[in-house]
Structure 1
């Protein structure tokens, strides 16, 4: 029995801005029926409704505009790790992302803005109302911390995508909809404030019951703080927060790399934060994350987007088992014995993400996938610690964390992936960046990493793609949002 908190979806209308979906954690957690019609006037009355409203924020993580099509587009497909995939002409807006010919009307650019700000709205609804509910104070504090963690998560993705943003700290009245953008520094300060509150008020992963695995934890908040500091080049802050999580003993590398992305690897020792899903027989509860990246052809279980690139395949060292655990190539034999036969229109060299591959067909079809979406793994945190330590001049600690990741990757084979021993700061920096690429490939990190590292132009130039400094570090603000704002929102440079 899966013990995640998305077993049943309920819908609640909160005003006219969006429908707030109600969902719970775990099989026991979410089998609760709504009691009558719920509106913004009669909701947030008791403890159960407070929990439902917070669960609705988690539910939104599975939505199409948060962790599905647009998500893989602006992260993987935009990077050197992946091509658009699928067949020529299908979803041309993703080809524009791949080629850096997109504009402010791009579907992916619009989808991310809409999806992530809806998440901010849901979190703000909880935070604006929960204080007035008579309920257990310890639970109230935890739910508040979960909401602030999730709001920070949405904003962290948004600030890396668009740069300066409207800072929306509470539900808006209609006369407040036209919000100006504030600086990235202000957004990052807001994110840190939310994450610090979450880190201080959330339980550790080990303190949750199995039915609540997937909820935000103190360790997850600290891990995201580490990454937030890294993206601001605050290496001391990144290192300190990473070390706090490492020394907690809450997490460990999962022994089998490939199994991390299978059912047995869900909420494993390596999982710091992941999106929980359950494929229900009646539909709902699942996600299309796997479907959009699945094999297009035979066995037919997907749309075939986000295909691993030649450049990614060439990046792996000889014998690295992570290549096979990451990439499915046309003609491969799957564990079921089926031979992959890609849609002929994709070409004979078509590839698919094995990390998103589903070995079994979920109920109602692949659009209802019950496979969890991995967001933050312990290996990622170790590599953040390695990078920060190296930037601080501590090569011995950097090598320690880097080689922990490589040791697991070699899967007991002493003849491959030897320990890195170099201590020159620039060479070690490049080794750590390389390890991030092959360890985290096809997990939606690469594009933001390239921008953060300041080498996107060089990387894309080598691939014959024009990447313009001063423009492509961020995506355009959706033109529709600028129009609606009456010009209050301004456009990013170059668009």
Structure 2
């Protein structure tokens, strides 16, 4: 997915043009596309859509969507992760962790830009496909894929920033003489747009395994899962229950297991290749994940996704990463005894004292790589889900350790089951809730619950989805972010820190017409 045919004008460029009152025609194009070919050729149209998928790979310190800056922001704001590394190295992450970050953080500016670049690409693709002349079913499928991506991006935007500008078409000349590009709409209006996009995707995308479904592209199940999650944030519990029940009832997804209903090594879910037939990329519980790897192209990585979270060495040995986004002690102590997810989520670094005898100390990872001891790295814990092996998986791209290919799991079947359980509890369907939650618990080697409460489901979500960028948003939607985070010494302020500040750079570009969030 490394086509370079669809790099359209970003919202930042549009805002500059608007604030300077330049003509749309004065803005230089950042890419070219043969629109005439797309209108009549399904292959060209597919390439157009592929170009929009490329926005999923935006990472590093530049524009971001689901990569480096995103996970640093939302994991470190939660009780799941600490900034990591040495003091001052991850300075913006430290401010986010303490809820003292300002609108001047480049994290927020680059996330904002990344999402609106992707949204603009989707908007352009949708407008072109609206005029396509080839078969209607293919057109609808391709529009469904673009609607899924746009819905995902707006969902992240509204959870990060609340109300944001609603841009659903390519701006025309008249837009640059108005405030339409820089006026926030309510979060409720954004949610209405998201639901519309994802419902269109549900109605027009093929199911997983269908002849028209390519691995890595959005399917009906992916759209249903994400739409259920959106309704969960809106407390539309019947919708959550119905959508997740449809995914479950399809029979197209299953939890990764390697021993009956259990999974001995939970970490295999997040590796590139299966182990004894279990796990690996695009496994049986994958609803949607960002595709990377040497066979896809040089652009198909999310820079720093793995290396940003990898062990940072000291004392002369070759380090594997920045050491940012370190799993917290609070997360480490939250697991029940016997929960296999703990060892599959967190790399625990052994202390200098050698309990195993001379020459056999330190922490050995699944691929045989050995981290000598706690004296050799800066953090006592690292994110195992983000680890990419330099020896047992596809090689890094471009000769850079920052560009390790690592598929990013956007949604898994385990989350569908937990959403179904939460909705069932809310609707009084206790039996259904127990069935769903116990499937997830049993896979982790835990006994079945005899009764289930909302707190049981919330606890299970944390254990299952730790370090997958859900915990902070979960605490906010559950209405307990302040209570939980202040208990850990974080400076969370109710009525303010449920969302992050609108980037000051975007406010400045809008001639102050883009309004800052309360108390920032």
TM-score by length of 2: 0.84
Q: How far 1:17 sits from its partner (Å)?
A: 6.3
Matched, 1:332 2:363: yes
Give the Cα separation in 1 of the matches to 2:416 and 2:401: 31
Give the aligned partner of residue 375 of structure 1: 410
1:205 aligns to what SS in structure 2? coil
| Alignment of structure 1 residues 266-415 onto 2, 5 Å | 266-279=281-294, 283-288=298-303, 289-297=305-313, 300-330=319-349, 331-341=362-372, 347=378, 349-360=379-390, 361-363=395-397, 364-410=399-445
Is the contact made by 2:3 and 2:47 (CA closer than 8 Å) also made in structure 1? no
Relative distance call for 1:70 and 1:327 in structure 2 (3 A) is: same
Give the Cα separation in 1 of the matches to 2:201 and 2:217: 12
Cα RMSD of the aligned pairs, angstroms, is: 2.2
Give the aligned partner of residue 141 of structure 1: 140
Is the contact made by 1:9 and 1:285 (CA closer than 8 Å) also made in structure 2? no
Is the contact made by 1:54 and 1:126 (CA closer than 8 Å) also made in structure 2? yes
Matched, 1:214 2:195: no
Is the contact made by 1:292 and 1:302 (CA closer than 8 Å) also made in structure 2? yes
Q: How far 1:456 sits from its partner (Å)?
A: 0.6
Give the Cα separation in 2 of the matches to 1:40 and 1:94: 42
Relative distance call for 1:66 and 1:474 in structure 2 (3 A) is: same
Is the contact made by 1:296 and 1:342 (CA closer than 8 Å) also made in structure 2? no
Is the contact made by 2:78 and 2:97 (CA closer than 8 Å) also made in structure 1? yes
Give the aligned partner of residue 231 of structure 2: 229
Is the contact made by 2:415 and 2:461 (CA closer than 8 Å) also made in structure 1? yes
Is the contact made by 1:14 and 1:40 (CA closer than 8 Å) also made in structure 2? no
Is the contact made by 1:285 and 1:368 (CA closer than 8 Å) also made in structure 2? no
Give the aligned partner of residue 107 of structure 2: 108
Is the contact made by 1:299 and 1:338 (CA closer than 8 Å) also made in structure 2? no
With 107-116 and 198-207 compared, the bigger mean Cα shift is at 107-116
1:206 aligns to what SS in structure 2? coil
Deviation per CA, 1:62-114: give whole Å up to 9, x if none. 11111222111222111100001122211311111111110111122112111
Is the contact made by 2:8 and 2:121 (CA closer than 8 Å) also made in structure 1? no
Give the Cα separation in 1 of the matches to 2:32 and 2:39: 11
With 251-260 and 142-151 compared, the bigger mean Cα shift is at 251-260
* Aligned mate of 1:52, from 38, 42, 47: 47
Give the Cα separation in 2 of the matches to 1:194 and 1:12: 21
Q: How far 1:10 sits from its partner (Å)?
A: 2.7
Give the Cα separation in 1 of the matches to 2:509 and 2:174: 13
2:409 aligns to what SS in structure 1? strand
Relative distance call for 1:16 and 1:391 in structure 2 (3 A) is: closer
Relative distance call for 1:203 and 1:469 in structure 2 (3 A) is: same
Give the aligned partner of residue 124 of structure 2: 125
TM-score by length of 1: 0.88
Q: Provide structure 2 residue ranges, at least 5 long, that are not aligned to the other structure.
A: 14-30, 258-262, 275-279, 350-361
1:307 aligns to what SS in structure 2? strand
1:147 aligns to what SS in structure 2? helix
Is the contact made by 2:307 and 2:404 (CA closer than 8 Å) also made in structure 1? yes
Give the aligned partner of residue 149 of structure 2: 150
Matched residues, number? 460
Give the aligned partner of residue 187 of structure 1: 190
Relative distance call for 1:208 and 1:281 in structure 2 (3 A) is: closer
Give the Cα separation in 2 of the matches to 1:132 and 1:89: 52
